[in-house]
Amino acid sequence: MEGRSEKCEQCVGRSRIAAAIAIGVVVGRVFAFFYPYGFFSPDPQAQTPTLSKYNVLVESWSYESTEWINMLRSYIRKLSEENAELQKQLRELNEKLQIAEEGKCRVHEQLVVLTEPKKAGPFGKVKSMRANPPVLPDESVNPRLAKILAEVAVENEVIVVLANSNVKSMLEVWFTSIKRVGIPNYLVVALDDVIVDFCKENAVSVYKRDPDERVDFIGKTGSNQAVSGLKFRILREFLQLGYSVLLSDVDIVYLQNPFDYLYRDSDVEAMSDGHNNITAYGYNDIFDEPDMGWGRYAHTTRIWAYNSGFFYIRPTIPAIELLDRVTDRLTGEPNSWDQAVFNEELAFPSHPGYIGLYASRRTMDLYLFMNSKVLFKTVGKDSKLKKLKPVVVHINYHPDKLDRMKAVVEYYVNGKHDALDVFPDGSDF
């Protein structure tokens, strides 16, 4: 009997244990259902506030709810879009960082060349550095312009022209000639809304500066000379952004791509107002003063002016200083001619009371980058020179600009051999 009772007690004990385990499992499942994160775990809503509104929906909707599934899909889609945007920004920042690092390397290399002492080479083999190092691009100067230039420029180079509604007809000839040649990297800086609309109608790249009362007044109402003076101020931003600019007046016809004929070895590469090799590239001019007797002849060095309406300028410190100097003088000397100031700042050496500008310069080929005096007075009367095809023709010596621009197109593009003959060498007044 005692053995049997012990067995019963053991069975009862086992059944109680089994029952306790079963109750524990049931209770555990209940608590797991109602408290999936435990008693002491932080509220997930407090950890992820972005999902709080969706947690509320869980309490009222079943997991199989179509609305809940659509909401999750929408949320996932939104996260994917945000992730894609962040990845795009990361790529852009990496590209900018790479450009900046490359720029620093170039500057460092230039500084090493400039500062590291070197022995002079053999006679006739010594060459100095002509091209100053470019500045590091600074997109914060004008983010909107930087975005436009990134789309328009080729190899960080762009042709730039300033225009208001006073020169609308010439502007049409200008950009038509550029399109005909197939030059993609050009930009019109519009000085009024008429030109903005005109460019958009003709699929021409255009940029209008942010409102500036002083600049806008000159741009909309000023003469060609006043507008010409604005370009030095406006060009500064292009250079700060790291772009080389081929500045162009509107009275120019393009017959070839000028970027194929640039040397790019100087801070400024400009068209000459000279009419032959001597006047364009420099000569020894003798000043005669008879009352000096034996010393009556004084030798001088002369070169005709660079044309401030067509020049290539690189993004260097001397180039930017040139623009600043010219802008400052034109602002303080309102009756000054921008071309005269431009040439003075390029040419005048340092002397007592004045620090000259240390900018390198190059004169463009006279017959490739041709002014209108050369064309109508010399080339148009020479059968051999007439066979040459210039890169551009600048109608800078004549007031009847539009008619002569059209004549240049007729002669060089349409093959009308007598198109230039109807014009006098100079002007009628």
Model pLDDT for residues 286-340, shown as the tens digit of each residue: 999 999 999 999 999 999 999 999 999 999 999 999 999 999 999 898 889 999 9
Query: According to the model, what pLDDT value does residue 378 have?
Result: 96
Please say whether the beta carbons of 320 and 140 come within 8 A.
no
Instruction: Please check whether residue 52 lies inside any domain of the structure.
Output: no
d(CA 84, CA 87): 5
Predicted confidence (pLDDT) at residue 276 exceeds the cutoff of 90: yes
Confidence band, pLDDT 50/70/90 cuts, at residue 268: very high
Q: 104 Cβ partners below 8 Å, 6+ apart?
A: 136
Predicted confidence (pLDDT) at residue 185 exceeds the cutoff of 90: yes
Instruction: Please check whether residue 111 lies inside any domain of the structure.
Output: no
Please say whether the beta carbons of 228 and 238 come within 8 A.
no
Look up the domain containing 219 and give its range. 139-274+306-414
Instruction: Please check whether residue 144 lies inside any domain of the structure.
Output: yes
Query: According to the model, what pLDDT value does residue 2 have?
Result: 42
Instruction: Please check whether residue 50 lies inside any domain of the structure.
Output: no
Please, what is the average pLDDT of the chain?
Answer: 84
Instruction: Please check whether residue 108 lies inside any domain of the structure.
Output: no
Instruction: Please check whether residue 335 lies inside any domain of the structure.
Output: yes
What integer is the mean pLDDT of 403-414? 98
Whether the predicted model's global pTM rises above the 0.75 cut: no
Strand partners, 299: 286
State the DSSP H helix or E strand holding residue 18, giving kind and residue range, or none if neither. Answer: helix 2-34
- The total of other beta-carbon atoms located within 10 Å of residue 50's CB is 8
Predicted confidence (pLDDT) at residue 220 exceeds the cutoff of 80: no
Predicted confidence (pLDDT) at residue 206 exceeds the cutoff of 70: yes
Instruction: Please check whether residue 38 lies inside any domain of the structure.
Output: no
Which of 7-16, 205-214, 254-263 has the highest average model confidence (pLDDT)?
A: 254-263
The CATH number for 160's domain is 3.90.550.10
Predicted confidence (pLDDT) at residue 62 exceeds the cutoff of 60: no
Strand partners, 188: 161, 206
Predicted confidence (pLDDT) at residue 64 exceeds the cutoff of 60: no
How many separate domains does the chain show? Answer: 1
Query: According to the model, what pLDDT value does residue 216 have?
Result: 56
Instruction: Please check whether residue 36 lies inside any domain of the structure.
Output: no
For the segment 239-264, what is each residue's pLDDT rounded down to a tens digit? 999 999 999 999 999 999 999 999 99
Query: According to the model, what pLDDT value does residue 305 have?
Result: 97
**Least confident piece of the model among 74-83, 100-109, 294-303:** 100-109
State the DSSP H helix or E strand holding residue 94, giving kind and residue range, or none if neither. Answer: helix 66-115
